[in-house]
Amino acid sequence: MKISSCIVCRILLWSGIILIAFVLLIAGLRFCSDEPVVYADPVEHFKYGSTGGDRVMGFPKRVFLALPEICGQYLPGKGYASLGMIFESGHDLPVGMSQRRHLGIDRTFLNCAVCHTSTVRAKADAKPQLVVGMGANTFNLMAFEKFINNCMRDVKFSAEYLVPVIRAQASKEQGAELSLLDRYVVYPVAIALMRDRVTSLMHRMRFIDAQPDWGPGRVDTFNSAKALFNFPIEQLPHEELLGTADFPTIWNQGKKTSMQLHWDGNNNHVEERNLNAAFGTGATPPSLDHAAMTRIQTWNASATPPAFGKSFPIDQVKAQHGAAIYKEYCAACHGASGSDFSGEYVGKVTPLNEIGTDPNRLNSFTPALAENLGTPYAGTDYKFTHFRKTWGYANSPLDGLWLRAPYLHNGSVPTLWDLLQPATQRPTLFYRGNDLYDPVKLGFVSDVAKDGDKSYFAYDTEKPGNSKAGHTGKAYGTELLDADKWALIEYLKTF
């Protein structure tokens, strides 16, 4: 008995439909996923969790890990560690890089920890202590950006060169051999998209090509914001195009609610400032992971710095003498102690003509930018409404002061001892990026240019934006007797 041609057609039709449905289901399961790697511990989440920036700007993880092999000539040393990025055992990505499964591939991008985590060594041969929440004083963000940009321009940034390296790296992982689909479709397309997106972003960020090297621990936050807002960079006044400043600490955010923070006090709303900072991690309003940001804010609302006394001794008698000096000279502007932030001028802006520090960071934030910063999240409860132009720098609390070196907003004074000297007696040239701590002067070792195969960044205070001036005179303690300065420093170790 012969099966009629009609039945055969139906079988073929339904088989085709089932096959197509199966292929679509498999494709949907892979390419429609949006799953970040989530960490139960809030500190681990801060270090490695996504803010959402990896949705749009995320680098394919395997491509990111292959770049040092393809473009190593653009790095100062071996791998991302040569840029000051920190690697922990058990992680193939550095601290400050998240991972998210998105559009069928594992993606990675910067998160908040890349700018707010660093290491400290108590002795030259000691294991570095990871400190979460401090400014990333070893990370050279400009060098990272230039490395990625140079690599995008290199002929080797192509599937022809990258896919074999990715395959070789994947083959070292059990069961991680790339499929034919990955080798001939997914990664070639992902590489092309990454090149286009990064090239477009770096074109907007072209202002950095005209700036002096930032060096480790610093960033030009608000000229970067202008670039993202498509400001006509070439037409902007020269005096506002150099706003480099140190990465700040982010502890005790709950106690700093309503203070005028950022270096120039341009915003007094903690959550709004955090959302603005997320732009630096590639998280735009459509891509921001609000749940992740809420976890970060909950953590840093009560996060506290590690105590100096756990790593180094404190002379309590000398510190007691220093407490009286601190109360007379410092408490009104910086708080009663490292945990009590009460004070008449704490969290308020001191005019530039009074504080006398380098004006460039202040000049970089303009009324026009403040106005533009009111546009993100428009029409939502997250709309920015607190940015404003100020005319000075904010008096911040000093929690974790020992880990804030170098000092002043532009990181132009290497140690607290140097900050207590007249500006003319402060170092004109010193070296940044060392995590070896000087517990006497309170700061990181800054007179060493090279340690083995690692070179540190030469910071020249005579270059634009790097001035060591300001915070001087009787009111700021620079005229105290040396014995009183040392006592004050001893007390500040308790912060």
What average pLDDT does range 388-393 have in this prediction? 97
Taking only the tens place, the pLDDT of each residue in 416-445 is: 999 999 999 999 999 999 999 999 999 999
| 3 pLDDT above the threshold of 60 | no
Q: How many whole angstroms separate alpha carbon 268 and alpha carbon 279?
A: 18
- Name the β-bridge partners of 246: 218
Give pLDDT, residue 21: 65
Residue 63 makes CB contacts below 8 A (sequence gap 6+) with 162, 166, 187, 190, 191, 194
Instruction: Give mean pLDDT, residues 10-14.
Output: 73
pLDDT at 26 over 90: no
Backbone angles phi, psi at 334, to 5 degrees: -120, 5
Q: What is the pLDDT of residues 96-107, one digit of tens each?
A: 999 999 988 999
Supply the pLDDT for residue 188.
96
Buried b (16+ CB within 10 A) or exposed e, 136-147: bbbbbbbbbbbb
471's tokens: 């915070």
Token pair listed for 149:
């940009």
Question: What's the CA gap between 22 and 185, in Å, rounded?
Answer: 19
Question: Residue 456 burial (CB < 10 Å; 0-12/13-18/19+)?
Answer: buried
pLDDT for the residue numbered 9: 78
List the beta bridge partners of residue 431. 458
The H-assigned helical ranges of 375-465 are 416-419
pLDDT digits (tens, 9 = 90+) for 173-198: 866 788 999 999 999 999 999 999 99
Check residue 130 and give its pLDDT: 98
Alpha-carbon distance of 117 to 94, in angstroms, equals 11
Please state the rounded mean pLDDT for residues 144-173: 94
Burial of residue 169 (CB within 10 Å: 0-12, 13-18, 19+) is middle
pLDDT at position 2: 54
Q: Which residues are within 8 A (CB) of 309 and not within 5 positions of it... i.e. 6 or more apart?
A: 493, 494
> 245 vs 17, which has greater pLDDT?
245
pLDDT single digits (tens) 32-47: 788 999 999 999 999 9
Tell me what pLDDT residue 30 has. 67
Average pLDDT over residues 400-418: 98
Read off the pLDDT of residues 244-271 as tens digits, 9 standing for 90 and up: 999 999 999 999 998 998 999 999 999 9
Within 10 Å of residue 288's Cβ, how many Cβ atoms? Answer: 22
With a pLDDT cut of 70, the percent of the chain lying above it is 96
Rounded distance between C-alpha atoms, residue 197 and residue 222, angstroms: 21
Question: Once rounded to an integer, what is the mean pLDDT over residues 348-355?
Answer: 98
pLDDT of 310 reads 96
Tens digits of residue pLDDT in 457-482: 999 999 999 999 999 999 999 999 99
User: Torsions phi, psi of 206, nearest 5?
Assistant: -65, -15
Q: Tens digit of pLDDT for each residue in 198-230?
A: 999 899 899 998 899 999 999 999 999 999 899
What confidence score (pLDDT) does residue 228 get? Answer: 87
Look at residue 28 in the predicted model and tell me its pLDDT. Answer: 61
H-helix or E-strand spanning residue 131 = strand 129-132
Long-range contacts of 435-438, Cβ-Cβ distance < 8 Å, separation of 24 or more: 435/118, 435/119, 435/120, 435/121, 435/128, 435/137, 435/138, 436/121, 436/123, 436/124, 437/120, 437/121, 437/122, 437/311, 437/312
What would the pLDDT profile of 263-318 be if each residue is shown by its tens digit? 999 999 999 999 999 888 888 888 899 999 999 999 999 999 999 999 999 999 99
Least Cα distance to 403 among 5, 116, 104, 96 occurs for 116
- For the chain, what percentages of helix, strand and coil (3-state, to nearest 5) are there? 45, 10, 45
pTM listed for this prediction: 0.92
Q: Yes or no: say if 377 and 383 are a contact pair by the CB < 8 Å rule.
A: yes
d(CA 387, CA 402): 29
Q: What is the pLDDT of residue 336?
A: 97
Residues in the chain: 495
User: CB neighbours (10 Å) of residue 459?
Assistant: 27
**Span 347-355, average pLDDT:** 97
Q: What are the DSSP calls for 338-369, one per residue?
A: SS----TTTTSEEEHHHH---SHHHHHS-HHH
